[in-house]
Each structure stands twice: as structure tokens, then as C-alpha cells.
Amino acid sequence: MTFIYDGQYEGLLSAVFESYRLKAPATRIVSEAQWQESLFDQPIRVNTCPTLAARVQKGLKEKTSAQAVRMLYRCFLSEKENVEMLIYQFIRKAMKSNHNIEQNYADPTVLALSKINKMIGREVHRMHAFVRFQLTKDGIYYAVIEPDFNVLPISTDHFEKRYPAMDWLIYDARRHYGMYYHQQRLEAVTFADTSHHQLRQLPNSVRDELETDYQEAWKRYFKSTNIEARKNMKLHLQHVPRRYWKYLVEKDGKG
């Protein structure tokens, strides 16, 4: 049975609940955005219900652990093809078993999810490091990122703790939304006019006057702390892959 959900995590959990309620095992779980009408499939469209989603999570937490619940959400953010089915299979196996299956790496579902979780963790770690802010005339620090996965929601904690007293906005150029932190509150934002968002450099009309100087200072600092004799590009690329160079000031946007 194919289930269609709204693309949100709570929607996915609602679909899982529906599958149990209707006693109809899912063979495909697909988001509305990715669904294509087909002649043969009779899909079930699921309404998102936060209460039911919470029930699924509660049951899962009792059978496994808070960590497993968190892992599933993180895997969902990976946006990987068919991750919904993996999550669904994990929940089914967890509910059926008497033990906590979370650590059974012999099971292909558990193993696949743990690997995705690892990838997400790495991407979050990179997002903490590869963010470069520019100051705008309004006093907002603005940064652009293009993460491989949708990790922005789970990356903001780090910045909230680090810059609690400032206003900042981190924008995901690939997914066209950002997280805006101001007055100690965080909210998701989108731009009405998306022509600016891909720019590495803010236009002069918007940026603060000292911004250019600070960028120069940063590039000079970077160059002066660099040790030419220790250059090891292969190792460097392992830590800072080329695809992240685009928004790093010190790389001058190469690559």
C-alpha cells in the first residue's frame, strides 16, 4: 500500500500511524511533492496529525530510547531516497520486538539508518565550521550555506549558544529558507525576492561599511597563519571538500 504524506516529519509519523490503524503494511511512503499520478496505484493520502505523531514517538521511545527517536528524525532530514521506508521499517521492527533493536547492527535497516545518522552528524559538524557571516546595515549577521542534507534545523543550537546576544540569519540556498535569530528567538524565514540569496557577497547597499575591511583582515589572517611547507592538499580536501569553498571568504569563492 502506498501512503502519501505532506513532506513534514509529523506527516511521516502520521502515515506510520495510519498504516497501523488500517492494518495496511506500507510498501511505499512518498511525499506529496514527489508523488506522480499513476494508473495502477491507489494511494492513501494521510492527514498530518501532531497528536497521533506524538503517540508514535512515545511508543517508539518506550521500545527503544530517546536516542533512537532522535536518530530517526535526523535521518529524515537527510532527504535520502526512500528513507521514509527505512524509518517505517525500523518502527515496525522496534514495536514488534521485546528488546531494544537499536543496537542490532546485523539488521540492514538499523545499519543503514546508523550510517545515515553518521553522515548527518558529519554535515552538522561541517556546518558549524563553514559558516561565514556578513554584517548588514541593519545589524544582522547574514550567512549562506548549501548543505548536502537539510541540517539547518539541527545546526542552529550551536549558534544560539555562541551568539546569544546578536541577531543573525543563516540561509540555506539550496532549500530556500533560513533560520533567523533575533531577540533570543529563532524562526524560519523565506525571502520574497530570491535574486540575492545565492550571492556570496552582499551588495554594497545592504552591507555594513566596515564589512570589506573585516573580510580583508580575515583573508590576511588566514594567509599569515598558513605554513606553506606543510601544505598537503589531499589531507586538506578531506577536511574541507571543494563544494564548501563557495561561501568561505578565505577561499575567495574558488571551486
Partner 1 sequence: PKLNQVPLVRENRLYQADWLMRFYGFSLREIVSEQYPDLDLETDPKLSYALRHPHHFPVDVNKADYEMILRIPGVGVKSAKKIVQSRRFGPLRTEHLKKIGVVMKRAKYFLIAADRQFRTLGWKPENIRRQLLQGNKKVQQRQQLNLFDQPAVASLDNGPVAGDTLLLPEASNNILTS
For partner 1, the binding residues (CB under 8 A) are 99, 101, 103-108, 111, 229
Give the shortest CB-104-to-partner 1 separation in angstroms.
4
Which is closer to partner 1, CB of 107 or CB of 148? Answer: 107
- CA-based torsion, 115, 117, 121, 123: positive or negative: positive
Name the one residue in this structure whose C-alpha cell is 589531499. 234
DSSP at 103: G
Give the shortest CB-231-to-partner 1 separation in angstroms.
11
Which is closer to partner 1, CB of 108 or CB of 139? Answer: 108
Which is closer to partner 1, CB of 192 or CB of 227? Answer: 227
Contacts of 254 (CB under 8 A, 6+ apart): 245
Name the one residue in this structure whose C-alpha cell is 524509518. 87
Which is closer to partner 1, CB of 229 or CB of 233? Answer: 229
Which is closer to partner 1, CB of 77 or CB of 113? Answer: 113
DSSP secondary structure letters along 149-212: S--HHHHHHHHHHHSTTSEEEEEETTTTEEEEEETTEEEEE--S-TTSTT-SS--TTTB-TTHH
Give the shortest CB-110-to-partner 1 separation in angstroms.
8
Separate counts of helices (H) and strands (E) for the chain: 8, 8
DSSP at 74: H
Give the shortest CB-68-to-partner 1 separation in angstroms.
13
Give the shortest CB-162-to-partner 1 separation in angstroms.
30
**Cell numbers of 38, please?**
499513476
